Structure 1
Amino acid sequence: MKTLFRLLSALPLFLLHMLGGLLGWVAFLASPVYRRRFLANAAQAGLRLADVRRAIAGAGALIAETPRLWFGRPPRIEWDGAGLIEQARAAGRGVVFLTPHLGCFEATAQAYAAQHGRITVLYRPARKAWLREMVDTARGRPQLATAPTTLAGVKQMLKALKAGEAVGLLPDQVPPLGLGEWAPFFGRAAYTMTLPARLAQQTGARILLAWGERLPWGRGYRIHLRAAPPTLAADPAAAAAQVNALMETLIRECPSQYLWGYARYKAPAEAR
């Protein structure tokens, strides 16, 4: 599989996106379960198929662009709001980046590491050993560290923030049981991680919102940065609701690049 990924990484990005778009439509048409969840999640946000049609191909592009991001040469990057990073760094504070399943979140972390400094990203280790080994190898970039969704990973992120570094999370990812609160997401209760607020409150880090827009015709990515409130609520459930509202704002910027097929409203695995 690693050999295949290395071969695919040599293809132009626009071709990978085209192949991925086809893959996205095949999955949408072939899987009734996936299709129903995709449409139901979009409808929960008040969107019609016409509003999110391009997200069907985008889900496939997300998969197809991975070999390039893991093994190929870095893509072209544009920045929107990079001054927010400089403001946080000038204050000597760490930064907590919150990125939903919107656009290319892999490119967001890589771009920060390449141009701004060290970042530690939270990820859920793959269950299969061969895939876990490949992911760990591929993501081992200079200035880019990974932290597993465990207590050790949380400690690793706290240490990075206290050193004035950056960390990145996908706050619309369903956390393990006991590490989240039920909070509204587009008007429906979703189990939401409480880690972003805890990290900021314990370290004084600045919270920034980020997402990587997939540009047309393989022209690379535009990293959008947005400011978040200076502080989140002390109550975990209230803070989770705040984070979800912030993610909703980002997603509404470009719903055609959100991963609507993600099972956002499922219960944690340990509770099922």
Structure 2
Amino acid sequence: MSRPDEKKRPAARRSPARDRASDLAIRGLIRAALALPLRPRLALMGRTMRALSPALGWQDRAMANLAHVWPDMAPDDQRRIARAVADNAGRTMIENYDPAGLVTRMRDAPVRGDGLPAVEAARAEGRPVLFVTGHYGNFEAPRAALVARGYRIGGLYRPMANPFFNAHYAANMHALSDPVFEQGRRGTMGLLRHIRDGGMGVLLFDVYDSAGVPIDFLGQPAPTLLSAAEIALRTDALMVPFFGIRRPDGMSFDAVFEAPIPHGEPRAMMEDATRRLEARIEADPGQWFWIHRRWKPGRQARRQRKRTAASMGP
């Protein structure tokens, strides 16, 4: 949740013509890929995003993030992981643009983990469940696996800057399972009401937000919102980490539901969620979205200097 008193930078002026042109290009690529059978479709999108990654700045950003948290990693290893990240991003994008197909694929996918019995018991009792996860593997795969088994799973999404692209992106989110809410105070309250009424929902917590508290992530402080823990506490919802882990074939997944995070102090709960995500990343770093500006160390340093100066007074 954003702080109501937080000053926000004015949004950069966008060009509607450029946004429209970008959206048409993206729509064309998506349409062409969806016309292919599944295996060549995923391979095409993986290759395309690997090829575009350097021009988009993704490769440099991923390598910079890797150097930030693992400074001893060789550049060749950074580059290999960055290429795997781009490949996974391309595959994930086109998978999520075929929600019906993803649900069908996940119907018979392995669903396991220490948290699964608790989720099933909560469903039987009508107790709410809040799933938490990060941009790892395909984060929609476990949701699709539950939808295929008759669950209704809501969610919260961050809108895209390009309004033309956002229109079909949001529609696609709704197509998998409603209710889905746009990130912001109104959307968060909508998700809160859905959970409080005994529903189930998903929150991704691994993005930078200046309103977050610094929690070490892979050894470096990363501002992290406490919203997921706060919602779980306010609604008495189970807080269950889940992960859609892509298998080596590049097509199939394991949907893993981990043991619920015990209720307690919100920061401690989010630290627990962060440790769960870290373990997955360390097991296979190429499946996490290193393209995100997760840490922004320069911005964090500037904010800390301002806080220090303010505390010292005139």
Structure 2 length-normalised TM: 0.73
Give the conservation status (yes or no) of the 8 Å contact 2:99–2:172: no
Q: CA deviation at 1:242?
A: 3.2
Alignment partner, residue 99 of structure 1: 133
Alignment partner, residue 9 of structure 2: none
Please say if 1:231 is aligned against 2:241.
Answer: no
Choose which of 160, 164, 167 in structure 1 pairs with 2:194: 160
* 1:129-168 aligned within 5 A: 129-141=163-175, 143-168=177-202
Alignment partner, residue 224 of structure 2: 192
Cα RMSD (Å): 2.8
Give the conservation status (yes or no) of the 8 Å contact 2:84–2:286: no
Please say if 1:59 is aligned against 2:83.
Answer: no
Return closer, same or farther for 1:41/1:144 CA change in 2, 3 Å cut-off. same
* 1:77-116 aligned within 5 A: 77=106, 78=109, 79-81=111-113, 82-116=116-150
SS across alignment from 2:59: helix
Identity of aligned residues (%): 27
Paired residue type of 1:192 = T
Give the conservation status (yes or no) of the 8 Å contact 1:109–1:144: no
Between the aligned partners of 2:72 and 2:264, the Cα distance in structure 1 is 28
Give the conservation status (yes or no) of the 8 Å contact 2:133–2:242: yes
Alignment partner, residue 123 of structure 1: 157
Q: CA deviation at 1:137?
A: 2.0
Give the conservation status (yes or no) of the 8 Å contact 2:59–2:79: no
Q: CA deviation at 1:251?
A: 2.1
Alignment partner, residue 10 of structure 1: 35
Judging by fraction of residues, say which structure has more strand.
1
Return closer, same or farther for 1:88/1:8 CA change in 2, 3 Å cut-off. same
Return closer, same or farther for 1:7/1:232 CA change in 2, 3 Å cut-off. farther
Return closer, same or farther for 1:27/1:219 CA change in 2, 3 Å cut-off. closer
Between the aligned partners of 1:5 and 1:23, the Cα distance in structure 2 is 11
Paired residue type of 2:291 = G
Q: Unmatched 5+ residue regions in structure 1? A: none
Between the aligned partners of 2:215 and 2:176, the Cα distance in structure 1 is 36
Give the conservation status (yes or no) of the 8 Å contact 1:13–1:218: no
Q: Is the deviation greater in 59-68 or in 77-86?
A: 59-68
SS across alignment from 1:131: helix
Structure 1 length-normalised TM: 0.83
The structure with the larger Rg is 2
Between the aligned partners of 2:35 and 2:91, the Cα distance in structure 1 is 12
Please say if 1:214 is aligned against 2:246.
Answer: yes
Q: Unmatched 5+ residue regions in structure 2? A: 1-23, 304-314
Between the aligned partners of 1:142 and 1:56, the Cα distance in structure 2 is 28
Between the aligned partners of 1:230 and 1:114, the Cα distance in structure 2 is 28
Between the aligned partners of 1:137 and 1:169, the Cα distance in structure 2 is 18
Alignment partner, residue 272 of structure 2: 242
Give the conservation status (yes or no) of the 8 Å contact 2:214–2:221: yes
Higher relative contact order (CA 8 A, sep 6+): 1
- Number of aligned residue pairs: give it: 264
Paired residue type of 1:204 = D
Between the aligned partners of 1:34 and 1:142, the Cα distance in structure 2 is 28
Choose which of 221, 233, 248 in structure 2 pairs with 1:201: 233
